Amino acid sequence: MKRQIKKILVAVDFSSYSKATLESAFEISRITKSQILAINIINQKEIESVEIAVNSKRPGSFLLTKHLSEEMGRRQLRLKALIKGILGMEKLSIKTLVGFGVPSVEILEAVDREDVDLLVFGPKGRTNLRMFLFGSVAEKLFRHCPVPVLSLRSQPE
């Protein structure tokens, strides 16, 4: 049974590969006439580390709820600006999602919640040491995603 692609979720991390990842999803969307949803996740562990570091020097100066609200707004604007910068894509009505938590968990929950048919993401600009120690988001998505996954590789420079 062939599965028709109606919704594509594109995970955007604002790395140098994000624009190419969105462009690839846009090409698939044009062929399949599917809707695009762009998602960015604020990594809970990273924010909590900042909170601990800042508050250890100046107790109570970092308020997670205030920072999170501001950061979510900034990321919404960045997503929209990135989309606007892609020829042809700016004319589409693209739903943008910004979440907070464990990236793989949040992305998988969005796949279910938004009834997505294809998940697209690109390579990350992180070191292999971190992926070795903690496991990569990509690996978790490959293992647990209930829909097809398209992982784009970086292009040689």
Three-state SS sequence of the chain: CCCCCCEEEEECCCCCCHHHHHHHHHHHHHHHCCEEEEEEEEEHHHHHHHHHHHHHHCCCCCCHHHHHHHHHHHHHHHHHHHHHCCCCHHHCCCEEEEEEECHHHHHHHHHHHCCCCEEEECCCCCCHHHHHHHCCHHHHHHHHCCCCEEECCCCCC
Give how many domains the chain has, as a whole number: 1
Q: What is the CATH number for 103?
A: 3.40.50.620
- Quote the pLDDT of residue 137: 86
- 28 in a domain, yes or no? yes
What percent of the chain shows pLDDT beyond 70? Answer: 80
| Weakest-pLDDT range from 29-38, 55-64, 76-85 | 55-64
Does the residue 79 lie in any domain?
yes
Question: Does residue 156 sit within a domain?
Answer: no
- Domain region containing 114: 7-151
C-alpha span between 12 and 82 (Å, rounded): 10
| 157 lies in some domain | no
Average pLDDT of the chain is 84
Q: Is residue 108 part of a domain?
A: yes
60 assigned to some structural domain: yes
Residue 97 covered by a domain:
yes
**Could you give the CA distance from residue 71 to residue 66 in angstroms, rounded to a whole number?**
9
pLDDT recorded at residue 52 = 63
Specify the pLDDT at position 21: 94
